Amino acid sequence: MKFFREMEEMPPHKLALRLSYSAAVIFAVLMLAAAFIGRKILYDIPSIDKLDEYTPSLTTYVYDINEEVIAEFSIEKRALLTLAEIPVDLQNAVIAMEDRSFFRHWGVSPRGILRALLRDLLHTRKAQGGSTITQQLSRGIFLKPEKTVARKVREMVLALQIERNFSKQEILQMYLNQIYLGSGVYGVQSAAKLFFGKDVKELNLAECALLAGVIPSPGNFSPFSYPDRARVRRQLVLQSMRREGYITDKEMEEALAVPLPDSKSTLLSGRAPYFIEYVRQQLEPRYGVAQLWKGGLKIYTTLDLSMQAPAEEVMEKVLSKYDEDAARVRPPPDPAAEGEVSPSSAPLQGAFVILDVRTGAIKALIGGRNYRESQFNRATQAARQAGSTFKPFVWMAALMSGYTPASIVEDLPLAYYYDGKDWRLFEGATDQYSIDLAIQPFVGSKDFKIWVPNNFDGKFQGHITLRRALEQSRNLSSVSLVNRIGPSLVVDVAHKAGIDNRLDPVPSVGLGTSLVNPLEMTSAFATFGNGGIRVKPFGVLRVVDNRGKVLEEHVPSETESFSPQASYLLVNMMKGVVQRGTGIRASSLRRPVAAKTGTSQDSKDMWFIGMTPDLAAGAWMGYDDFTSLPVKDWSSSQAVAWWTEIMAEVLKDQPARDFPVPEGIVFATVDQENGRLALPGCKKRILEAFLKGTEPQEFCDIQH
């Protein structure tokens, strides 16, 4: 009260002076407070200079040989387009719905802000709405998605700066490339693929209106989750476009009649997952995680989905059937049987590979039955015994050592002992009785190990031709050959053909006891089919960055590992495996196929690898825990069966071609049993190939 009495008693000129002084103080305080608040809000506002260099997280796409998308690497599914690549209908739909005065305002819309503030006050909520396209762009790129007055102020300031530095067309282009449209998708290009399975430039009016309609709340307006809401939103967009004069009444009615998409496109879903992971493991170390997953690369691969898809389908069908058969015959567990390995209850696994013989391009690759359950790639990472599929390396070593397809080899009993340094053959032990006598002194000895190989049928054919021994997959003939030519040469041949794994130079190497994987085995066979020229398998043709620059392109690399003549002789013998031998089920393809079957020790692995002049394909099946396959009468012929079913689909439209005959090869009709020149009385005759000068000179002297 005293203050007011003093004011009343104070002379007018002093009162005016005091009031002006007080007003100045209050104004100064308010200005300081405003400056402090403004500084607090704007001190860390980002510079729009970075917008020139702004590169959002882009999706990297992986394509098959026909440039069909098979997978993507992405943190955020996104692609960058120029405004010219985006339909005008979509541009107009977004402007009509999100910012009708976009081309007239200078970054912010005062009317929109007042309208939003009024709505916020009536609903007692924090600042929301009223954002122009430019504000939405500044918020999406630079600011956190919080709803506060401070963020709103920053958003407006940034919008003003963006408008001052970029054209309206540049702003709209950036907005359409970065706007979030649900399901991890950013930008209209990726959204078009997700919603409609097509590029954005192919969208019609109805599709453009639907995309524009989901922008405010992609989750709530999704046509897949809430089709009724999405239909209403699309209608609102079309009505707004009509009011703005972008479309006619007829166009609006036609667009309203177009049905909504009812499911997400599979265009962005990954296929051939084991192959895709194989590609990722190769490229990620070269380009880094950031560029591969965020750089918007285009990766063009060798995979052919027309081969991959039937291979996956057939393999799963066959192995599922095997699981059913195995479950019926699997004995119940016996608690008393200690130390015995019980049959596996896990699903039977498989792997399948198709390679281009001439280039090494991977056309199909399956590393297992279910990638979600197991990412272990059995085509490239498995270490399994090859069994008899390893024998072609022995036969090639024999050809290089002077043998011919008509040479006679032994299919007789033999035995080895290990003296602590090396495996040695029991000389003269060529029948079961003499073998039993020879090994008797060493039975139970800790210093000497005994190995007595045998044929799968337990029988012996005596002396047979090199061809016949391969066609019938005679184990003892393979061991005998290894003993004569030396295991080191066999190992060297395998490495030259394409086996990268370590191989032990021991007598059993010819029976496939060393560990290999299906990809390298198939590649090694392809070397023989390619005339002895080794080409390393590869999956990536080229990599292109988001600006179209080619970062890498596959350069063919060839190594002449074997002569074309020796390779042809081996391939010609391997054709007999399909024509008369253990792979005869593949003869149903009715075309020249060179192949080899294989079953490892105790039936833990079953193989079949075959090739035409154009394609080499390898099939493997077995359990991950290395237990034996329990179903009786299942052998490598089962792998032949599903290999053949797959290749029948793969090769159905390809002409049947035979392997080309190189210079220096001659043919002679010989007796199948003894390899000598056949006479009219020889019932089993065959037209055999020889390196010129090595063909037999003697005629058959056996009375048939």
What pLDDT, on the 0 to 100 scale, is given for residue 593? 97
**Measuring CA to CA, which residue among 443, 450, 412 is closest to residue 429?**
412
> Cβ distance 453 to 512 under 8 Å?
no
Cβ atoms 498, 527 nearer than 8 A: yes
Give residue 138's pLDDT.
77
Nearest to 696 by CA among 407, 273, 378: 407
Which residue did the predictor score with more confidence, 602 or 433?
Answer: 602
How many Å apart are CA 172 and CA 177, to the nearest integer?
9
Higher pLDDT, 539 or 51: 539
Question: What's the mean pLDDT when you consider all of the chain?
Answer: 85
**In the predicted model, what is the mean pLDDT of residues 502-516?**
93
The least confident of 182-186, 388-392, 558-562, 676-680 is 182-186
Contacts by residues 326-334 (CB-CB < 8 Å, ≥ 24 positions apart)? 326/629, 326/630, 326/631, 329/630, 329/631, 329/632, 330/630
- For every residue of 619-687, DSSP letters joined together read EEEE-TT-PPP-STT-SHHHHHHHHHHHHHHHTTTSPP-PPPPPTTEEEEEEETTT-SBP-TT-SSEEE
> Can you give the pLDDT at residue 704?
67
Alpha helices for 330-424 (secondary structure H): 391-400
Q: Is 195 helix (H, G, I), strand (E, B) or coil?
A: helix
Non-local (6+) Cβ contacts of 389 within 8 A are: 512, 521, 596, 597, 598, 607, 608, 609
Residue 333 vs residue 533, higher pLDDT = 533
**Cα(241)–Cα(97) distance, integer angstroms:** 8
| Angle, alpha carbons 178-180-181 (nearest 5°) | 125
For residue 208, name the pLDDT band (cuts at 50, 70, 90): very high
- The average pLDDT across 322-340 equals 65
Q: Distance between CA atoms of 698 and 346, rounded to whole angstroms?
A: 57
The per-residue pLDDT for 8 is 58
Assign residue 702 a region: left if phi > 0, alpha if psi is -120 to 50, beta otherwise? Answer: beta
Query: What is the per-residue pLDDT across 451-462, written as a single tens digit (0 to 9) for each?
Result: 888 888 888 999
Q: Above pLDDT 90, what percent of the chain?
A: 55
What whole-number percentage of the chain has pLDDT above 70? 82
pLDDT in tens, 633-662: 555 678 999 999 999 999 999 999 999 999
Higher pLDDT, 293 or 448: 293
Sketch the domain layout of the chain as residue ranges.
2-42, 59-73+271-327+346-381, 76-268, 663-704
pLDDT at 386 exceeding the cut of 80: yes
Mean per-residue pLDDT for 596-606?
91
How far is it, in rounded angstroms, from Cα 524 to Cα 495? 8
Rounded distance between C-alpha atoms, residue 255 and residue 246, angstroms: 13
pLDDT at 333 over 60: no
pLDDT on residue 95: 94
Minimum mean pLDDT among 229-238, 366-375, 554-563: which range? Answer: 366-375
The answer to whether 593 touches 584, Cβ cutoff 8 Å, is: no
Q: Strand (E) positions, 381-517?
A: 384-385, 408-411, 416-418, 423-425, 449-451, 462-465, 515-516
pLDDT band at 101 (very low <50, low <70, confident <90, very high): confident
Percentage helix, strand, coil, to 5, in the chain?
A: 45, 15, 40
Q: How far is residue 55's CA from residue 697's CA, in Å, rounded to a whole number? A: 76
Closest to 113 measured CA to CA, from 134, 101, 128, 96: 128
Q: How confident is the model at residue 38 (pLDDT cuts 50, 70, 90)?
A: very low
The candidate with the shortest Cα–Cα distance to 182, out of 236, 226, 128, 221, is 221
Q: How confident is the model at residue 334 (pLDDT cuts 50, 70, 90)?
A: low
- Tell me which of 72, 98, 471, 645 is the catalytic residue: 98
Please determine, for residue 559, whether its predicted confidence score (pLDDT) is greater than 70. Answer: yes
For residues 624 and 610, give the distance between their C-alpha atoms in angstroms, rounded to a whole number.
Answer: 24
Q: How far apart are CA 393 and CA 491, in angstroms?
A: 8
Query: Length of the chain in residues, anyone?
Result: 704
Cα separation, 88 vs 233, in Å, equals 19
* 395-398: long-range pairs with CB below 8 Å, 24+: 395/466, 395/470, 395/481, 395/570, 395/573, 396/493, 396/497, 396/528, 396/562, 396/566, 396/567, 396/570, 397/481, 397/485, 397/489, 397/490, 397/492, 397/493, 398/466, 398/481, 398/484, 398/485
Is the separation of the CB atoms in 648 and 593 below 8 Å? Answer: no
When pLDDT is cut at 50, 70 and 90, the band that residue 517 belongs to is: very high
- Give the pLDDT score at 158: 81
Residue 320 annotated as catalytic: no
Return the pLDDT at 306: 95
Catalytic annotation on 98? Answer: yes
Average pLDDT over every residue of 361-380? 93
421-443 pLDDT per residue, tens: 778 777 767 777 777 777 777 77
- Which of 131-135, 310-314, 564-568 is least confident? 131-135
> Residue 129: is its pLDDT beyond 70?
no
Q: Look at residue 143 in the predicted model and tell me its pLDDT.
A: 54
45-67: pLDDT as tens digits? 555 555 555 566 788 889 999 99
Quote the pLDDT of residue 33: 47
Over residues 674-686, the mean pLDDT reads 90
Find the catalytic residue in 74, 222, 344, 388.
388
76 or 268: whose pLDDT is higher? 76
| Residue in the block written with tokens 């380009």 | 287
Read off the pLDDT of residues 213-227 as tens digits, 9 standing for 90 and up. Answer: 999 999 899 999 899
Cα dihedral: 525, 530, 535, 539 (round 10): -80
Strands 462-465 and 558-560: unpaired
Domain 76-268 has CATH 1.10.3810.10: yes
| Nearest residue to 687 (alpha-carbon basis) of 663, 664, 670, 702 | 670
What DSSP string describes 527-556?
A: HHHTTTEEE--B-EEEEE-TTS-EEEE---
Please list, in sequence order, all residues whose beta carbon lies within 8 angstroms of the beta carbon of residue 570, skipping any fewer than 6 positions away.
Answer: 392, 395, 396, 399, 528
Q: How many DSSP H helices and E strands does the chain contain?
A: 22, 23
Report phi then psi at 551, rounded to 5. Answer: -85, -35
